[in-house]
Amino acid sequence: MARPTLSRYLVEEHRCAGCVPADLNFLIKIVARACLHISVAIGKGGLGDVLGEAGSDNVQGEAQKKLDVLSNEILLEANEWGGYLAAMASEEMELPHLVPNRFPKGKYLLTFDPLDGSSNIDVNVSIGTIFSVLKCPDNADLSTPEAARQAFLQPGTAQVAAGYALYGPTTLLVLSVGRGVAMFTLDREHGQFLLTQENVQIPVQTKEFAINMSNQRFWEAPVQRYVSEMLAGKEGPLGKDYNMRWVASMVSDVHRIMTRGGIFMYPMDEKVRTQGGKLRLMYEANPMAFLVEQAGGAATTGRQRILDIAPQDLHQRVPVILGSREEVERVTGYHQGAA
Ligand code: AHM
Ligand code: MG
């Protein structure tokens, strides 16, 4: 039997669980199409004018790559006319992008990191797009981009869908509409995403961890303890040998965990303390935490479930510890013990 397309998957999810209304279905398909276009742009590499610096900084003060800017534009243009969105927010824009008045407005909000893993763009290592969908509150003030910020400040538990596209040897779309996680592979010949795995489950235990070890001297005591116990291997208190991986593209590191388990940590450390952490809550931590929980894993800051955080700011940063449930619970327990 032919593999179901993304469109068919969404229709069937609606039919059996009612969780994908027509406008959400449309939204997800347009995001997927934008990801296909981003994938094509990335694939041009040195043959197109897509590599290198854009010559500008984003709101976080980070130098933007040409592909960061291009991916942001592709997502904005693709999504603003469809009538299902009220506004969009992105890592690359200080303020929300309101749907222009010439288009109808809808009931959803979309946030995204258009191209995650920017430091890997020019070295041909896998990168991705992360997105999250929220409902726009009925009484939201969308009169100006400044006012619209407030509408986005909802906890991760309010997400109605989240996903990522991974631009690797194959382009994948990994999606949850709140009933488990499904993976789709881009069929490049036909330009469509086909279902390749349903009901993704993250193994509860793991022997693989992902952390940027160069930050070791900045970590807090609970993470120091956990990593030193893992490094002690079979002879240590955890009684097993661990392996380490760090791609430095969150999408790739999370995808590995989705596929074969593991724990990913970008914890609080002294280098990032004043800004609250490294990764952004609204378009990195929340969508990934939603997907990981939907796949049976766990996601915390070490001190709190990520999806329960009440956001204070659109570009808020948080510590992130996610993946195989028992390992996340262990390191979260070390934080509680330390407190
Ligand atoms: P970006 O959105 O600007 O690419 O930054 C986020 C990335 C994550 O993908 C990755 O986990 C992390 O930053 C890597 O950070 P580091 O370079 O400190 O290891
Ligand atoms: Mg990012």
pLDDT digits (tens, 9 = 90+) for 138-155: 999 999 999 999 999 999
**Hey, what amino acid is at 249?**
S
Percent residues over pLDDT 70 in the chain? 100
Query: pLDDT confidence of 65, banded at 50, 70, 90?
Result: confident
Return the beta strands (E) in 189-330 as ranges: 192-197, 208-210, 243-244, 263-266, 279-280, 298-300, 317-318, 320-323
What is the structure's pLDDT at 5?
A: 97
CA distance 100 to 150: 18
User: What phi and psi values does residue 5 have, to the nearest 5 degrees?
Assistant: -80, 165
Ligand 1, atom 16: closest residue by C-alpha = 248
pLDDT(1) > 90: no
pLDDT tens, residue by residue, 86-108: 999 999 999 999 999 999 999 99
pLDDT(50) > 80: no
CA distance 112 to 152: 12
For 136-153, letters b (16+ CB in 10 Å) and e give bbeebebeeeeebbebbb
What is the structure's pLDDT at 285?
A: 98
> Closest by alpha carbon to 264, among 208, 329, 186, 336?
208
User: What phi and psi values does residue 210 have, to the nearest 5 degrees?
Assistant: -130, 120
CA distance 331 to 152: 30
What is the structure's pLDDT at 118?
A: 87
Domain boundaries, the chain: 6-197, 208-338
Cα of 237 vs centre of ligand 2, distance in Å, is 34
Instruction: Read off the pLDDT of each residue in 31-39 and give the average, rounded to a whole number.
Output: 98
pLDDT tens, residue by residue, 227-246: 999 999 999 999 999 999 99
CATH 3.30.540.10 fits 6-197, yes or no: yes
> Closest by alpha carbon to 34, among 63, 6, 8?
6
Return the beta strands (E) in 63-214 as ranges: 63-65, 85-90, 97-98, 108-116, 127-135, 161-167, 171-176, 182-187, 192-197, 208-210
- The SS3 of residue 273 is helix
CA distance 221 to 301: 14
Task: Name the residue of 57, 111, 118, 288 whose CB sits within 8 Å of the most ligand 1 atoms, as the mutation to test its pocket.
Answer: 118
pLDDT(339) > 80: no
What is the structure's pLDDT at 149?
A: 97
pLDDT(51) > 90: no
CB of 113 sitting under 6 A from ligand 1: yes
CB atoms within 10 A of CB 267: 25
Contact 143, 101 (CB under 8 A): no
Ligand 1, atom 4: closest residue by C-alpha = 117
Query: CA 33, 50, 30: angle at the middle one, nearest 5?
Result: 10
pLDDT tens, residue by residue, 285-310: 999 999 999 999 999 999 999 999 99
pLDDT tens, residue by residue, 312-322: 999 999 999 99
Ligand 1, atom 17: closest residue by C-alpha = 248
What is the structure's pLDDT at 306?
A: 98
Instruction: Read off the pLDDT of each residue in 114-121 and give the average, rounded to a whole number.
Output: 93
CB of 117 sitting under 6 A from ligand 1: yes
DSSP H or E run through 55? strand 53-57
Cα of 22 vs centre of ligand 1, distance in Å, is 34
Percent residues over pLDDT 90 in the chain? 87
> Closest by alpha carbon to 124, among 278, 255, 249?
249
Equal CATH topology for 6-197 and 208-338: no
What is the structure's pLDDT at 49?
A: 81
CATH architecture under which domain 208-338 falls: 3-Layer(aba) Sandwich (3.40)
Query: pLDDT confidence of 60, banded at 50, 70, 90?
Result: confident
Residue with tokens 């881009």: 186
CB atoms within 10 A of CB 155: 16
pLDDT tens, residue by residue, 153-165: 999 999 999 999 9
CA distance 176 to 162: 6
For 206-229, letters b (16+ CB in 10 Å) and e give bbbbbbeeebeebbbebbebbbeb
Query: pLDDT confidence of 167, banded at 50, 70, 90?
Result: very high
The atom of ligand 1 lying closest to the CA of 62 is: 3
Contact 197, 204 (CB under 8 A): no
pLDDT tens, residue by residue, 177-204: 999 999 999 999 999 999 999 999 999 9
CB of 163 sitting under 6 A from ligand 1: no
pLDDT(84) > 80: yes
CB of 272 sitting under 6 A from ligand 1: no
